[in-house]
Amino acid sequence: MASTVEQRDGAVEHEMSTHQRGLVDTCLEEGQFESAIALLEQLRSPSYKPTISHIRQLIYIALQPEHPPSIHEIVIADVPSSPSKATLKKRIPSGTAVLAARRLLNSFAITNSPESIAAALPFYDDPRKNESVTQADDGLLESVIGPQSMCISRAKNCWSILAQGYTQRGQTFSVSSDNGKKRSYNLDENDSMNNFENAIVGDDAWSTLDWLILLFEQDEMLADSRGSGRFSSLLLQQIPPPRSGTGPRWDTEIPMRIIFFCMEQTDFRRQMLGSRLMTLLINLSATRHLDLSMFVGSLYSHLTAAGLEKLPALLSNLYPSTPAHRFKIMLCRKLLSDASRDQMRDVRTRVQARARALRATRTEEIINSQSPETSASAQTTRSPVLSYIEIIRCLEASASSSSMAVTQSILLRVKFELINSYGMLQSEMAPAERDSDWTSILQDGKANQLIDTMFNGKSNNPDSRVFREVLQSTVPIWSS
């Protein structure tokens, strides 16, 4: 590994000295976690990066419960069968140490380069996973939690370590049951993430998710300041590469599950973690590294499975930006197109004979199942910016919604987001790049007429009235 790293301001980030590392290692060897963390805080500097092993152990401590189990409730598998209480106590971080580790990780994410801190995280195609022997200078041989913290490195990706009970795999817990007897519970290190589907983010992992997102956001800002584009290459490493080994990545299934898990939380701060992660993925989808069409398709699948009533909250919390506007246009277009197609299928089924309708439905299902692939292929060969004519076709196709599965409220919201995002996107483009038809209706004053038509100017529907008034007040911004 290189001994120096270029910092965000162009300064050079050096390795910590052997003496500095030794001081921290000594504390960790004795199980003095609070002292080790306090010492790392004192040594924290933009000029010196912490070691990979120290960050790894901080992550391990941060993932522990704030109220740790007593030594009577836990037995660690790789400790002798009758470990002393003193040995066990050394290996259980206190609640104070857990909170301090969480704070220090956030501080390191801001003080030091994202690349240096993220070096402790697992990622796809990480060549270090093939190393059978731990490096001698890794500081793990003597640390009382060093061996356990290696579960961080053995994970497939950074999302895996967030799962409920991940760091407790390989440990046996003794839990009291209702009848007073104790049952032992073992978590195997080889358990896959799918075994924790109901808690893809554990109760003690929310601060770590917050830290990961902060790290990706810092990486994104640094890349933007360097002129590389506003996206996080560290986040890209946490998305599986295509099996062919070439082309953009597209499998966002795990982060998408985390986003929707965040949206299910009652705590607004946790909901916002999902929005921040979605924003990072949207910015990544604006590059050649992540397939935008496949990303939209993945979100659409999760939305339809979880319920479209989650759509307003998802869209409202997104940071307004050019990539976000493009993303919203793609998503709303798909929602309106699919809703319109569902309606047409319902009408056709009612008017045709039963046998003939069955054949038609089967044929249509085959066509529909092929359409995402066709769309994805087309999307890679043309600009994702739709023309004004295409926008109008989408809106008109969904004008009659009485038989749609989509509720009237959701339909109005989708139409609002589509028109507003398109208007904002056009206003952010250079005059020569703007759609001529769109520019024409703004100059002719027909934009308000379009809005009246789409949101039924004579309707007393409160949602329709609010969306209509907001869009009409935004028209001057589009025209500027």
Q: Model confidence over 23-80: pLDDT tens digits?
A: 999 999 999 999 999 999 999 999 999 999 999 999 999 999 998 776 555 555 444 4
- Of 170 and 213, the structure prediction assigns the larger pLDDT to 213
* Average pLDDT score over the chain: 81
Contact 174, 72 (CB under 8 A): yes
Average of per-residue pLDDT across 383-390? 80
- Measured between alpha carbons, how far is 355 from 319 in angstroms, rounded to an integer? 50
Percent of the chain exceeding pLDDT 90 equals: 61
* Position 225 confidence tier, pLDDT thresholds 50, 70, 90: very high
Contact 73, 161 (CB under 8 A): no
Nearest to 159 by CA among 258, 304, 33: 258
Residue 335 has pLDDT above 60, yes or no: yes
* Position 286 confidence tier, pLDDT thresholds 50, 70, 90: very high
* Position 379 confidence tier, pLDDT thresholds 50, 70, 90: very low
Q: Model confidence over 128-176: pLDDT tens digits?
A: 766 644 443 455 556 889 999 999 999 999 999 999 999 886 554 333 3
Residue 166: alpha-carbon gap to chain centroid? 19
Contact 241, 249 (CB under 8 A): yes
Average of per-residue pLDDT across 352-379? 37
Residue 247 has pLDDT above 60, yes or no: yes
- Measured between alpha carbons, how far is 24 from 146 in angstroms, rounded to an integer? 13
Average of per-residue pLDDT across 174-200? 47
The pLDDT of residue 32 is: 95
What are the structure tokens assigned to 261, written together? 């898990």
H/E stretch holding 41: helix 33-43
The pLDDT of residue 405 is: 57
The pLDDT of residue 199 is: 87
Please name the residue ranges forming H helices in 286-435: 292-306, 311-316, 322-351, 354-379, 388-397, 408-428
C-alpha dihedral sign at 375, 381, 326, 201: positive
Cα–Cα–Cα angle for 340, 346, 350, nearest 5°? 150
- Measured between alpha carbons, how far is 393 from 36 in angstroms, rounded to an integer? 63
Residues 6+ apart with CB under 8 A from 118: 215, 219, 234
Average of per-residue pLDDT across 329-340? 87
Average of per-residue pLDDT across 373-388? 50
Residue 374 has pLDDT above 90, yes or no: no
Three-state SS for 202-271 is CCCCHHHHHHHHHHHHHHHHHHHHCCCCCCCHHHHCCCCCCCCCCCCECCCHHHHHHHHHHHCCCCHHHH
Contact 235, 280 (CB under 8 A): yes
Lowest mean pLDDT among 64-68, 359-363, 390-394, 395-399: 359-363
Q: Model confidence over 427-480: pLDDT tens digits?
A: 999 999 999 999 999 999 899 999 998 887 656 778 899 999 999 999 999 988
Contact 412, 455 (CB under 8 A): yes
Q: Which residues of 175-209 are buried (b: 16+ CB within 10 A; e: fewer)?
A: eeeeeeeeeeeebeeeeebeebeeebbbebbbbbb
The pLDDT of residue 257 is: 97
- Of 378 and 421, the structure prediction assigns the larger pLDDT to 421
The pLDDT of residue 457 is: 61
User: Residue written as tokens 């990544």?
Assistant: 284
The pLDDT of residue 168 is: 81
What are the structure tokens assigned to 174, written together? 């003794």
- Measured between alpha carbons, how far is 44 from 433 in angstroms, rounded to an integer? 48
* Position 385 confidence tier, pLDDT thresholds 50, 70, 90: confident
Cβ-count burial of 83 within 10 angstroms (0-12 exposed, 13-18 middle, 19+ buried)?
A: middle
- Measured between alpha carbons, how far is 223 from 113 in angstroms, rounded to an integer? 11
- Of 348 and 101, the structure prediction assigns the larger pLDDT to 101
Nearest to 384 by CA among 288, 294, 289, 293: 293
